[in-house]
Amino acid sequence: MTSKLMGQGVQRVEDQRFLRGQGRYVDDVAVEQDVLHAAVLRSPHAHARVLDIDVSDVLDVEGVHLVYTYEDLTGPMAEPLPLLIPHPALTEGRTQYALAKDEVNYVGEAIAFVVAEDRYIAEDAVSKIRVQYEFLPAVVGVDAARAATDLVHADVPGNIAAKLEQNVGDAVAAIAAAPHKLELELTIERSACTPMEGRGTVARWDRDLNRLQLWTSTQSSTGVRAAVAVKMGLDLGQVDVITPDVGGGFGVKINHPWPEELLVPLAARVLGRTVKFTEDRREHFISSAHERGQVQHIEVGFDDDGRLLGLNVEFWHDHGAYIPYGLIVPIITSTQLLGPYKPQNYRVYFESLYTNTVMVTPYRGAGRPQGCYAMERTMDAIAKYLGKDRAEVRAVNFIQPDEFPFDQGLIFQDGRELEYDSGDYPASLEKIKALVGWDEFPAFKAEMAAEGRRVGIGLACYVEGTGVGPYEGAHVHIETTGKVKVATGLTTQGQGHATVFAQLVADELGVKFEDVEVVTGDTRRMPYAVGTFASRAAVMSGSAIHLAAKRAKEKALKIAGEALEADPADLEIVDGVVSVKGSPGSSIDLGTVSVLSNPLRYAFDEASKAATQFSVGDPGKPPVPEDEEPGLEGRDFYSPERATFASGMHAVIVETDPDTAEITILKYAVVHDCGNLINPMIVEGQIHGGVAQGIGGALYERMAYDESGQLLNASFMDFLMPYVTEVPDGIDIDHLETPSPLNPLGIKGAGEAGVIPSAAVFAAAIEDAEAPYVPGLVITAMPISPSELYALRHSQGLENS
Amino acid sequence: MKPAPFDYRRPGTLAEAVASLAGEPNAKVLAGGQSLVPLLSMRLAAPSLLVDINGISGLDRIEVCEQQGVDGVRVGALARHAAVLASPDVRRVQPLVPMALAHVAHATIRNRGTTVGSLVHADAAAEMPVVLTLLGGHLEVEGPAGRRTIHADDLYIGPLESALSHDEIAVAAFFPALAPGAGVGFEEIARRHGDYALVGAAALVDGDSVKVGYLSVSDVPTVVDLSGVADADLGEAALEKLEPMSDIHATAAYRSQLVRVLTERVVRSVRKAA
Ligand SMILES: Cc1cc2nc3c(=O)[nH]c(=O)nc-3n(C[C@H](O)[C@H](O)[C@H](O)COP(=O)(O)OP(=O)(O)OC[C@H]3O[C@@H](n4cnc5c(N)ncnc54)[C@H](O)[C@@H]3O)c2cc1C
């Protein structure tokens, strides 16, 4: 019997292709053909009325095929883009038009769309379009939005799209009655996903078949398909969306449809030519999406042990100029803020605010980093106030292992109760303390201090709702060659789905791993799907694939049972061969079973002869039995009641330079619990990537908007995404496996976790490093650069180093 | 991010290159392209003509020689940063050049980018202009009127602005040799490995003479004479002559602190090596 692949660090099947440069991304599609290229005129102003657009100079440019402005759009195309996730509290939802109508609300908003022979000509043409603007005051940042001296949308008072409050118990009263109280004022700035591959779309209208083929770099092919069909007035059945290799998404590609995802197919249909749009880096900075910007006010009441008695959080969420993805990010902040703790009484209130900046949609972590930051900074403040160990204060607030399932009493992002399914937070804490050397740290700190070096340690805990619904599906097809083709509808942007899904199928079906081929994100192969976000692919598609493989196996055993004249319960499948347990001589391979599953009139090779009408079947019965279908296939869907909750803890040791305020990472440790591991190597890869991205968000990256709404650092020269040289060589990882009771495999999501605690854990560690030297230094704003740490040291006026 | 249309010529001789530039006020020389091509792609520059000098033979030479009575090393216009950095002659004759070059960008960019191109590009955040200025080197320049020499002191006029006229080509740079008994050092702090520095400092100590050149502090590379200043006061003395700038990466106050720290560090490193 082949050993189980579940839980093994199987080498990624994708890597050979990627490392040899054989990946096929959207920009690689249709390169050899006669493709036209699109470019977009984008607003150079953050807030202006568009008085006139003059395209007359463009029409003379040789090689230009089409120019669109808002006036050229009709029907559903001329309506605002969809508000994808409505919510009762989102009373003032506004979305942009595919091309600006009357007004632009951020630098980068699409105004005109040009299609030309190549991208060079298209950009030349764009530069010849003349727009007359009437400038309006720009609203930049949470403070300006709250002040509401100027409005982003004239019809949205106070710049407030939504207000939402949730209560568990009476937090205000509990805080008033608590023996100790603290207040914190925190801010966290914007960053962005910045995948290596930006957005991109290729469309081809096939006149012979009367249908559209669309390749797009998305996290939801089925979402794009539905949106394009609605906007172009097509039937779903006329639209195929194919997601080839995707060079990273990290959330930004879950928003859809982007203006270009509609304009490219529209132009392709009108022109009868293949049209391609490939976003460049500057466009990605100014016209896709950002995340993270919040201002938070926290009040907390607690007892002598640091036990939370009441927690009252108010925050203001900067969602940019439009809100197509609804309230998902602030809802996640407001609910996931609680982490592994029991607040006893909790009130959370947020306002989601318009600003004249790029819109905000989920970025890996999706509001959790902000929530974790609020909660963990609060834990640190409580410990400092009480003079207690920071780990101890956390421990007294943990939900205990015997309290699961634990209902936090709130409504989560999927509209379901925030009920944690399983976890073991005390065990995680023990592991992280051991891994980072928590108890030994004071001695190390003293030793370093003697050498004039400042070191500090930080700890942060999180719980992450993963694998949200509504569902995913899978189709497993055993070919007559014995090879297994698996399709699931969600997309892949580098996670290694082709590897882990093949592991699950190989285990369930009893076939060789190499014989399994996985396709994702192709609506021709699996038209029912949701998408890849919220750490849901393994949980959702993994479970669906497992269930579909089970069905295929049942059918295989039934047919094999007939062929071998054995009870299916006595059969087993090993390496693609079905045999009677204990008598390996009596066997049939799965390919032959597949042949038998499809009764044939015509033979076309030796193998298929076996399935023709004079060879098989009981002449007294229909060739395909009632309730059966021809073909050896299994199809199933997985739709859980609610999300499953992964958890983890990060700890970091940093050194701060007494002279230059440079911040160096000495050790980074992660304990992670995503239930049963399918492939520990892939989970660790996700953690490494997440930690690297988190380091970027905490110490390097920010969106430097000036007060007129210009993004000053819209390139990788000034937006400081960390290089590999800025990420520690080793990240120490330990796993805990607390299975989820909600799915057949006991798994939880792992994709976002690495990035969640970074702002919190770095703020804590840097503050700890500085504490002996600059006693009043508190970090309340993240990210932090050496220049800012230096300013903080001096604003204290207490430097006594 | 595609350049606006431009004409392109790739002459085989220097004379042809100079002739190509003549009468084309919007022409640009293309060397390694590591600064120019991004500017073209972002349409921040839209020259009418690019004169690619990469086809001119002999311009990549690095030679130890004497010029105007001074020993030194002459680096041709097509010598790549990587070749200059790897040259044993350069290291022996003027070790400050490789010390600074190690901080210029990343290996892939050093493989294409030229040291002379960097000197002409005149970025105040770049390492090599400061090195040339501190050492009192010069550029050899060829134009319609023939060849002339521009001393480093006269080379840097403003941000990204050098004293070359639009129809001139820099043929080589000359870095004077390190005098016997003198010492040099280079220190910088950048946000990420290989980035342009927040502040950088190059030092030349010769007997009682102490000079430090700064990058990313002012609009142009700036050298401060710190001769006779007590070690403990070096940073403050330098700051009296400098007015550090603020930008999105660092405040002026923080840059001032880096000037203090790096001035002391770089002078100390020279003394230690002596
Ligand atoms: C990611 C990145 C990071 C970088 N980091 C650094 C860094 O840390 N420090 C640093 O110093 N540099 C850095 N650079 C710039 C690099 O050093 C360039 O190589 C250098 O600035 C220009 O050299 P080049 O040969 O590429 O010149 P080009 O880009 O070809 O030309 C630059 C300019 O100089 C002119 N020019 C070039 N050669 C001549 C000549 N012989 N005669 C007349 N005019 C000429 C051109 O017309 C143009 O205006 C970086 C570049 C990149 C892309």
CATH number of A456's domain = 3.30.365.10
Cα(B85) to centroid(ligand 1), Å: 15
Nearest to B250 by CA among A661, A446, A392, A38: A661
Taking an 8 Å cut-off on Cβ atoms, the answer to whether B257 and A659 are in contact is: yes
**CA separation for the pair B273, B271 (Å, rounded):** 5
Q: What percent of chain A has pLDDT over 70?
A: 99
Q: Is B152 in the pocket of ligand 1 (CB under 6 A)?
A: no
Rounded CA-CA distance A544/A377 in Å is: 39
- Give tens-digit pLDDT for A81-97: 999 999 999 999 999 99
Is residue A714 domain-shared with residue A781, that is, in the same domain? yes
Single out the residue in A231, A259, A287 at which a domain terminates.
Answer: A287
- pLDDT tens, A18-35? 999 999 999 999 877 789
Q: How many domains does chain B divide into?
A: 3
| Cα separation values, A156 from A145, B89, B120, Å | 11, 69, 53
CATH of the domain at B95: 3.30.465.10
- Chain A residue with CA closest to B196: the answer is A717
Tokens representing A130?
């003349």
Amino acid, single-letter form, for residue B102:
A
Cβ of B251 within 8 Å of Cβ of A787? The answer is yes
DSSP calls for A453-497: -EEEEEEEEEEEEE--SS-EEEEEEE-TTS-EEEEESS--SSS-H
Q: Do residues A268 and A319 share a domain?
A: no
Q: Do B121 and B193 fall into the same domain? A: no
Q: The pTM is what?
A: 0.95
Q: Is the CB of B143 under 6 A from ligand 1?
A: no
Q: Which of B176, B202, B218 is the last residue of a domain?
A: B176
pLDDT of residue B21: 96
Say whether B154 sits in a helix, a strand or coil. Answer: helix
Q: Using beta carbons and an 8 Å cutoff, which residues of B are at the interface with A?
A: 1-5, 42-43, 189, 191-196, 198, 248-251, 253-254, 257-258, 261
Task: Decide: B110 in ligand 1 pocket, CB within 6 A.
Answer: no
Residue-level pLDDT at A33: 79
- What average pLDDT is seen over chain A? 95
Contact check, Cβ <8 Å, A120/B43: no
pLDDT of residue A480: 94
pLDDT in tens, B53-83: 999 999 999 999 999 899 999 999 999 999 9
Note down the domain range covering B24.
7-55
- Percent of chain A scored above 90 by pLDDT? 92
What is the ipTM score, two decimals? 0.95
Query: What is the reported pLDDT for A797?
Result: 54
Contact A790 B254 (CB under 8 A): yes
pLDDT tens per residue, range A116-140 = 999 999 999 999 999 999 999 999 9
Nearest residue by C-alpha to atom 27 in ligand 1:
B117
Take atom 6 of ligand 1 and give the residue whose Cα is closest: B105
Widest distance between CA atoms in chain B: 57
CA angle A156, A161, A166 (to 5 degrees): 140
- B192, B251, B258: residue with CB nearest A725: B192
pLDDT tens digits, A708-746 = 999 999 999 999 999 999 999 899 999 999 999 999 999
Residue count of chain A, please give it.
801
C-alpha B170 – ligand 1 centre gap (Å): 13
A450 and A380 fall within a common domain: yes
Per-residue model confidence as pLDDT tens digits over A457-509:
999 999 999 999 899 999 999 999 999 999 999 999 999 999 999 999 999 99
* B2 inside domain: no
Tell me whether residue B199 is in a domain: yes
Question: In this model, does residue A1 exceed pLDDT 70?
Answer: no
**For residue A7, how far is its CA from the centre of ligand 1 (angstroms)?**
51
A691 and A623 inside one domain: no
Q: Do A660 and B189 count as a contact with CB atoms less than 8 A apart? A: yes
Q: Whose CA is nearest to atom 14 of ligand 1?
A: B105
Distances (CA, A) of B20 to B53, B55, B166: 11, 14, 11
Classified as helix, coil or strand, A83 is: coil
B77 lines ligand 1 (CB under 6 A): yes
- Which residue of chain B comes nearest to A703, CA vs CA? B248
Our answer on whether the CB atom of B221 is closer than 6 Å to any ligand 1 atom is: no
Q: How many CB pairs under 8 A join A and B?
A: 67
Distance (angstroms) between ligand 1 centre and the Cα of B126 equals 9
Predicted confidence (pLDDT) at residue A584 exceeds the cutoff of 80? no
Find, in chain B, the residue whose alpha carbon is nearest to that of A785.
B249
Residues A440 and A487 in one domain: no
In a domain, A629, yes or no: yes
Same structural domain, B44 and B25: yes
Neighbours of A106 (CB within 10 A): 27
**Three-state DSSP class for residue A206:** strand
pLDDT at A2 over 60: no
| Å from CA of B114 to ligand 1 middle | 6
Is residue A801 over pLDDT 80?
Answer: no
Total tally of structural domains belonging to chain A: 3
Question: Which of A126, A707, A787, A792 should one mutate to test binding to chain B, selecting the residue with the greatest count of B CBs within 10 A?
Answer: A787
Q: Ligand 1 pocket test: which of B106, B121, B196 has the largest number of ligand atoms within 8 Å of its C-beta? A: B121
B205 and B143 in a common domain: no
CA distance A113 to chain B (A): 15
Residues in chain B: 274
The domain of A93 spans 15-136+193-287
Q: What is the pLDDT of residues A424-459, one digit of tens each?
A: 999 999 999 999 999 999 999 999 999 999 999 999
For residues B261 and B200, state if they share a domain: yes
β-pairing verdict for A633-638 and A583-589:
unpaired
Q: Which of A16, A13, A2, A1 is nearest to A500 (CA)?
A: A13
